[in-house]
Chain A
């Protein structure tokens, strides 16, 4: 018993420590700019030893965008780990569960902090392998194993396509470093093929619409805390897309075409995701389709910014705001979507079913869960005082100037989102108390604390949206747009 407590506190303490380090690093980056760390060098910032022209060692490079994703990961993984203390308490093999959970955190931190393409692939695979094992963790359910199998197959194919593209770039430029490659990028035919492979593989991994089939299947069956972490794994893959489009290819890219491709994928994702969600009766599946739909907003916002990357005037008027809106929406989505998945997990924890038609009247006994669900719902639907509104408004406003049709579709999707969440709310929480759920109790404290951390984040962001945008969203946007700063971080003062 004591060893279990020691293990659990070790997990929580290490995640708190990681969060502390991330915030310290964020402060440092805010003050001093881009940080690099060269693995195995005499001095950490020695990217080009002895006047070499090409960086040979693996270099970690952290700028505003990376640390923005780092803050998300630190917060949400801590909340998910606290939530799992009770949610997984009935399972066997918990030591392995926490090992895999920490491995997944390590994999995704690697993805967002690295400045090396092959290293990105390795960490992508680490996150995929541990993620698949965690999805299938409750092996007594047949569908859990099936969801895990789908995830690992999709991840393996996507990962190998990514590796192929990395090979193509290495064959031409003899380097794997993103900063160096950005410096010498020609955008020839092979580079276009590599870009296509990168985009397809990461679109699969993110779960955007033409390739989203695995997404609801895997997310539904995973334990709710793991689903929360899978949501932000998707964000980490999305970060890789943005890093590749903006930093690796940057201005050499045919910005209008690629930007429109990303906008159209985003638009499709938004619309198909929400229309599929309306028909679902499984609460986790319902939320998975909403998670797909919300990711469309981010791609649309950032895609608009990418489409006007070559046009400084349009970029200054609305492009920068569109990217900020998309990135701000990542932060908001990373708080309310895990919160909603966790409330769904709380319902499953107490009722043992995921079917909305079988639930009812749970609001009588699960009052805190009810309040947390309402916060999440209002936030996802973009109701004015909450943070979902702040980012969606930023997207509507800037996208409208680019193309009004896009903004109209985005608003329509938001309305359908609210409608379907109201329906789910009504069938799970309201109504008379059902006889079979008469003795249902509120979920244990650790689950409430895990959800509470995210709800507190939502409320903080809702009260101070200006502060968040100025301090962490705008630096992330500038880090994406300013390719030269990233290149300089590696290449120093070299021509």
Chain B
């Protein structure tokens, strides 16, 4: 089954996610949608990193009961984990700020809740 999926399929998916999220970031005015866009951007980048770590024929670097053959170096997976943790913090902080903005202005529309111009 695996050989029917082209190897660069994950990369296409990552590019699609990044493209959609940039569309959201530029054209959507709702702050919650903006945050969802950033979440999707993060997923796209994480998917890209994980896809980079795939080596055909490599084994997972788990040392118990290991099959014959080369092991992969798990750096991209470590990067992805770190990146996910950072994004949780970023998204949580953004959501708290949106709650505060809503309390102050009563709106989630980025045009209406803008105080500063010029």
**Interface of A toward B, CB cutoff 8 Å:** 56, 118, 122, 125, 128-129, 132-133, 136, 139, 142-143, 145-149, 152-153, 155-157, 159-160, 163-164, 166-167, 170-171, 174, 176, 216-217, 220-221, 276, 279-280, 285
Closest 4 CB pairs of A and B: A142-B104, A149-B97, A145-B100, A171-B52
Contact of A157 among B38, B97, B113, B116 (CB under 8 A): B38
Contacting residues, chain B, for A216 (C-beta < 8 A): 116
**For residue B42, which residue of chain A has the nearest CB?**
A160
We find that the number of chain B residues with CB closer than 8 angstroms to chain A is 34
Kindly identify which residue among A122, A129, A280 contacts B118, using a CB–CB cutoff of 8 Å: A280
> Which of B41, B45, B73 is A167 in contact with, Cβ under 8 Å?
B45
Q: Of A139, A152, A276, which is within 8 A of B93 by CB?
A: A152
In the complex, per-residue mask of B94-118: 1 if CB is within 8 Å of any chain A CB, else 0? 1001101100110000000111101
- B101 CB → nearest A CB, Å: 5
Query: Given contacts A147-B116, A176-B75, A220-B116, are A129 and B83 in contact (CB under 8 A)?
Result: no
A/B interface sample: 16 pairs, CB < 8 A: A118-B79, A122-B86, A125-B89, A125-B90, A129-B93, A142-B101, A142-B104, A145-B101, A156-B87, A160-B38, A164-B45, A166-B79, A170-B52, A170-B76, A216-B116, A279-B118
CA distance A284 to B66 in the complex (A): 62
Given contacts A163-B45, A167-B52, contact A149 B118 (CB under 8 A): no
In this complex, the member of B48, B75, B89, B90 whose beta carbon has the largest number of chain A beta carbons within 10 angstroms is B90
Would you call B83 and A149 a contact (CB within 8 A)? no
State how many angstroms separate the Cβ of A117 from the closest Cβ of chain B: 10
Tell me the B residues contacting A by CB distance below 8 Å: 18, 25, 31, 34, 38, 41-42, 45, 48-49, 52, 73, 75-76, 79, 82-83, 86-87, 89-90, 93-94, 97-98, 100-101, 104-105, 113-116, 118
Return chain A residues, CB-CB under 8 Å to B31. Answer: 149
Most chain-B CB neighbours within 10 Å: which of A148, A159, A160, A221?
A: A160
CA distance A157 to B100 in the complex (A): 21
Contact call A149/B94, Cβ cutoff below 8 A: yes
With CB as the reference atom, state the residue of chain B lying closest to A124.
Answer: B86
Beyond A156-B90, A156-B94, whether A139 also contacts B49 by CB under 8 A is no
Residue of B83, B97, B98, B101 most packed against chain A (CB within 10 A)? B97
Tell me whether chain A's interface is mostly helix, strand or loop, or mixed.
helix
CB atoms of B113 and A153 under 8 A apart: no
**Chain A-chain B contacts (Cβ-Cβ < 8 Å), number:** 93
12 further interface pairs, Cβ-Cβ under 8 Å (given A142-B104, A164-B45, A216-B116): A122-B82, A125-B86, A129-B86, A129-B89, A142-B101, A143-B116, A148-B97, A149-B97, A152-B90, A156-B87, A167-B49, A167-B76
Cα A132 to Cα B118 in complex, Å, equals 21
Cross-chain contact of B104 among A122, A145, A160 (Cβ < 8 A): A145
Give Cα distance in the complex from A279 to B75, angstroms: 51
What residue of chain B has the Cβ atom nearest to residue A164's Cβ? Answer: B45
Contacts of B90 in A (CB 8 A): 125, 128-129, 152, 155-156, 159
Q: A167-B45, A220-B116, A280-B118 are in contact. Are A136 and B86 (CB under 8 A)?
A: no
CB contact under 8 A between A142 and B45, given known A125-B90, A153-B94, A217-B116:
no
Q: Verify B82–A133 contact, CB threshold 8 A.
A: no
The CA of A146 and the CA of B104, in the complex, are separated in Å by 10
- Residues of A near B52 (CB, < 8 A) are 167, 170-171
Is B89 within 8 A of A153, CB to CB? no
Rounded to whole Å, the gap between the CB of A331 and the closest CB of chain B is 31
Chain A residues within 8 Å of B83, by CB: 163
CA distance A170 to B51 in the complex (A): 12
Question: Which of A142, A153, A279, A280 is close to B115, meaning CB atoms less than 8 Å apart?
Answer: A142
In the complex the two chains form, is B114's CB within 8 Å of A146's CB?
yes
* Residues B79 and A164 in contact, CB atoms below 8 Å apart: no
Q: For A167, list chain B residues within 8 Å (CB).
A: 45, 48-49, 52, 76, 79
| CB-CB nearest in chain A for B97 | A149
Tell me, in angstroms, the Cα distance from A125 to B45 when the chains sit together. Answer: 15
- Structural contact, A136 and B49, CB atoms closer than 8 A: no
| Complex contact A160–B118 (CB within 8 A) | no
In the complex, how many angstroms separate the beta carbon of A444 from the nearest chain B beta carbon?
Answer: 29
B100 pairs with A152, CB closer than 8 A: no
Q: Which residues of B contact A174 (CB under 8 A)?
A: 73
- Tell me the bound Cα distance from A317 to B101 in angstroms: 54
Q: Which residues of chain B have C-beta atoms less than 8 A from A153's C-beta?
A: 34, 38, 94
Q: B41, B42, B48, B93: which contacts A132 (Cβ < 8 A)?
A: B93
Among B31, B101, B105, chain A packs the most CB atoms within 10 A around the CB of B101
Which residues from B are CB-within-8-Å of A148?
97
With the chains together, A50 CA to B75 CA distance in Å?
A: 19
A residues in contact with B25, CB < 8 Å: 157
| Closest CB in chain A relative to B87 CB, distance in Å | 8
Which of chain A's residues have a CB closer than 8 A to the CB of B18? 164
Chain A residues closer than 8 Å to B100, beta-carbon distance:
136, 139, 145
> Which residues of chain A have C-beta atoms less than 8 A from B104's C-beta?
142, 145
Least CB distance, B17 to chain A, in whole angstroms: 11
